Amino acid sequence: MKTLSKLLVANRGEIALRVMRTARKMGLSTVAVYSDADATAPHVRFADEAVRLGPAPSAESYLNQAAILRAAKLTGADCLHPGYGFLSENPDFAQAVHDAGLTFIGPKPAAIRAMGLKREAKALVGARGVPLVPGFDGGDQSTATLEKKALELGLPVIFKPSAGGGGKGMKIARSQDELKDAIESGRREAQNAFGDPTLIIEKYLERPRHLEIQLLGDEHGSVVHLFERECSIQRRHQKVVEETPSMALTAESRAKMGAAAVEVAKAIGYTNAGTVEFIMDSDGRFYFSEMNTRLQVEHRVTELVVGVDLVELQIRIARGEHLPFKQEDLKQKGHAVQVRLYAEDPANGFLPSVGPVHDFHVHPVGGLLVDSGVESGGEVSMHYDPMAAKLIAWGEDRHDSASRMVRALQGLSVQGVTTNRGFLARLLRHPDYVAGKLHTGFIDEKMKDALAEPVDAERSMLCAIAATLAQHLTRRAADPFLPGVVTGFRNNRFSDQFADYESGQHVEYRALGDGKFLVNGAPWKVIAWDAPALTLESPEGLRQHVRVVAADGKQFVHSRLGSEVLKEKARFPAPVDAAVKGGFMAPMPGKVVKVLVKDGESVKSGQTLLVLEAMKMEQTTRSPADGVVKKVLVREGDQVTAGQILVVMEE
C-alpha cells in the first residue's frame, strides 16, 4: 500500500474545497493552485499551501499542465486530484502526472482514453451486450453518408460530437431538410470545442429520462455500483437537478442497470470512481449513453443516500486499499436531491451572469449540505463555469428532501449576480416534478411560463421598506455627530422622509426613536440591524429576517418572500435638502455663516435659506418647495449644536 500525504487539487471553486475537506479529514496536507482571478478565492485560503498557475483564462491556468506539475514539484505533493471539468478526463494529463512520480486520484490513463471518444466507447460497450441507442458510429463522415444513415435510422435523430461532453455541439434534426444544417453546424462546433469534427448519430428519443450509475473499482479487480442518480432535469442538455433514488426504477430494473454498469467497468478494467450514463425511453428501456471517468458534480446525493464519502474512497483506492464493502453490503437510505445554483438568468435564455457577489448567506436547514465556491465579497468570474454552488438535501423520502430543498432555496440570499435560485424553488414545487413525471425536456416544456420571478406586490413593498430603513440606519450609524439625536435625518426634524424607487415603490417614513418608524402611515419596528441582517416587525406584529446590502448604487434585498434589487430614483435637490415641511435642524455642530431669509418671507423651491460651516465645509440649507418662512431661530455667527432647530416653515 502506498502512503499518500500531500494532495494537490488541480481545480478551483466548490469542488477544490470539497476535495480538500476530505483530504484534511484523512490527515493529508492540501495544495491549491490558482489563476490570477482566484488569488484570494476560498479554495486558496483553505489550502495549507497554494501556488499560482498563471493568468485568468483556463488555457493559461487550470488547463496549463506544465504549471500544475511545477506546482506539484515545488510543494512536494505526492498525489493529485483533478476534480471535474478542466483536465479531469484528459488521459495525457493523467499519464504526465504518473510520469512525474505522483499518484493520480482517478482511473488509469488507458481507461480514460477508452471512454473518451463516444464512438470507441459505444463499440466497446456494445460488444459486451449492453444496450445502445440505435445509431451510426461508422467511419465515413461525409455529409451524404451521415444524411443517408440518419434517414435509415428514422427521424428525429441527434448528432453528437464524438469527442464531446457537457452537452455541447449536439444537434437534433426532426425533418429531412434540417439534416444538412445539423451536420454542418454540429461538425463546426465539434471542431471548435473539442478539436475533432467526428460526429456520431443516434436516434433521438422523445422525452427520455437520464439515469446513471455510480461505480467504484479497486485495484484488485472488485467493482461495485452505488446505485443510480436521476438527472433528467436539464437545460441545454446540462443537468440542473439530480436525485436518488429515481422514481423510474424498480428494485429489478435498478439491479439490471447496476449490473450493466459494472459490466462496462469490467470491460475496461476500470478502477476508482466513475459513472455510466444511460438514457431511458418512455417504455422503461434503457440504453448506454457514455461513461464519465471521474467524480461527478452530483456525487453528493449518492454519498447522502448510501452513507459514503466518495472522495475518501477515491483516495483509499489510489492508495491500493481494497474496497471496504461488497455489493450486498450497500443499501439506499432515504432520498437526496441536489440543485446546481447557476449564476444565470432563466428569464433571459439562461444567460450567464458574472460579477461581484455582495451576499452569499445560507439559512440553516436540517439535512442540508452546501458546497460553494463563492462567498460574500467574492465574485463569479467570466472565465469559468457559472455554477456558483450546489445545494444538497437529504430526507426520509422524496417529499421530505424536496421540502427541505425548497426551504433552503427560500432562505438562500445570493446578491449581486442573477441566479436561478427562485427558478429552482418554482421547479421543485411544480406538480409534475412533485409527481416525478420527469424527462430531459421538462424545463423547456413545463417551465416556459415560470422562467421569470412572478411579480409580488407584497414582496416588492416589504423589500422597499427594508431597503429604506436599512439605508436610514446606515446613514445614522455613519454620522458621528448625531449619536443622541432622535433618528430623523439631517436638517429635518419634524416631517416625513421618503424614498422613491425606480421599480415604483414609494416609502414615506418618520423615525419615532427606539427603532420605531411610521412607514406609509403604519407602525413598523426595527428589532435588530447588524448589516446586512435586518430584523423587522410589521404593523401586524410579524417579526421577520431580511438581508439588505447596498452596492453599486443599488439595494439588494432578500426577504422571506424573495429577492428584489432596488434603485432609488435620482432626486434633486440632493438628499440633504430633501422635501421638508416644518423645521430644519443643524446636521452637525457648526457656525451659522449666512442667514439669507427673514420671518414671513416667501421662498421658492431650491432657494438657499442659510449656510452653516461645519468641519471646515459649508453646508447649504435649501427650501425643497415653495413656501413661507415662519421663523428664523438663529443669527449669523451663532454656534449651533447638532439637532438644533434653525428655521421653521409654515405648515
Residues that bind ligand ADP (CB under 6 A): 133, 158, 160, 164-168, 202, 204-205, 208, 210, 234, 237, 277, 279, 289-290, 440
Q: Which one-letter DSSP state was computed for residue 597? A: -
Q: Smaller CB distance to ligand ADP: residue 55 or 166?
A: 166
Q: How far is the CB of 440 from ligand ADP (least distance, A)?
A: 3
Cell 504518473 sits at which residue? 98
Q: All 3 cell numbers of residue 649?
A: 416653515
Q: How far is the CB of 521 from ligand ADP (least distance, A)?
A: 54
Q: Smaller CB distance to ligand ADP: residue 167 or 521?
A: 167
Give the CA diameter of the chain.
101
Q: Smaller CB distance to ligand ADP: residue 289 or 413?
A: 289
Q: Which amino acid is at 487?
A: T
The CB-side HSE value for 359 (13 A sphere, CA atoms) comes to 23
- Which whole-number Å values give the CA distances from 585 to 516, 617, 640, in the listed order? 21, 17, 10
Q: How far is the CB of 209 from ligand ADP (least distance, A)?
A: 9
Please say whether the beta carbons of 228 and 211 come within 8 A: yes
Q: Which long-range contacts (CB under 8 A, 24 or more apart) does 592-596 make?
A: 592/634, 592/635, 592/636, 592/637, 592/638, 592/640, 592/646, 593/618, 593/636, 593/637, 594/636, 595/632, 595/634, 595/635, 595/636
CA distance 176 to 308: 49
Q: Smaller CB distance to ligand ADP: residue 125 or 158?
A: 158
Which residue number has the CB closest to ligand ADP? 440
Q: How far is the CB of 279 from ligand ADP (least distance, A)?
A: 5
Q: Which amino acid is at 175?
A: S
CA distance 559 to 411: 8
For 605-630, give the secondary structure using H, E and C: CCCEEEEEEECCEEEEEECCCCEEEE
Q: Smaller CB distance to ligand ADP: residue 291 or 646?
A: 291
Those residues whose C-beta lies under 8 Å from the C-beta of residue 142, and which sit 6 or more positions away, are none
Q: Which of 254, 294, 407, 547 is catalytic?
A: 294
Q: DSSP states of 116-132 as a string?
A: HSHHHHHHHHHTTT--B
CA distance 360 to 376: 5
User: Is 207 one of the annotated active-site residues of the chain?
Assistant: no
Q: Smaller CB distance to ligand ADP: residue 117 or 647?
A: 117
Q: How far is the CB of 92 from ligand ADP (least distance, A)?
A: 19
Q: Smaller CB distance to ligand ADP: residue 237 or 571?
A: 237
Q: All 3 cell numbers of residue 137?
A: 458510429
Q: All 3 cell numbers of residue 421?
A: 435560485
Q: How far is the CB of 488 from ligand ADP (least distance, A)?
A: 60
Q: How far is the CB of 162 from ligand ADP (least distance, A)?
A: 10
- Which whole-number Å values give the CA distances from 505 to 461, 551, 568, 569, in the listed order? 7, 19, 9, 10
Q: How far is the CB of 196 from ligand ADP (least distance, A)?
A: 13
Those residues whose C-beta lies under 8 Å from the C-beta of residue 339, and which sit 6 or more positions away, are 240, 241, 390, 391, 405, 409, 424, 428
Q: Smaller CB distance to ligand ADP: residue 60 or 281?
A: 281
Alpha helices of 276-344 — where are they, by DSSP H?
299-306, 310-318
Active site (catalytic) residues = 294
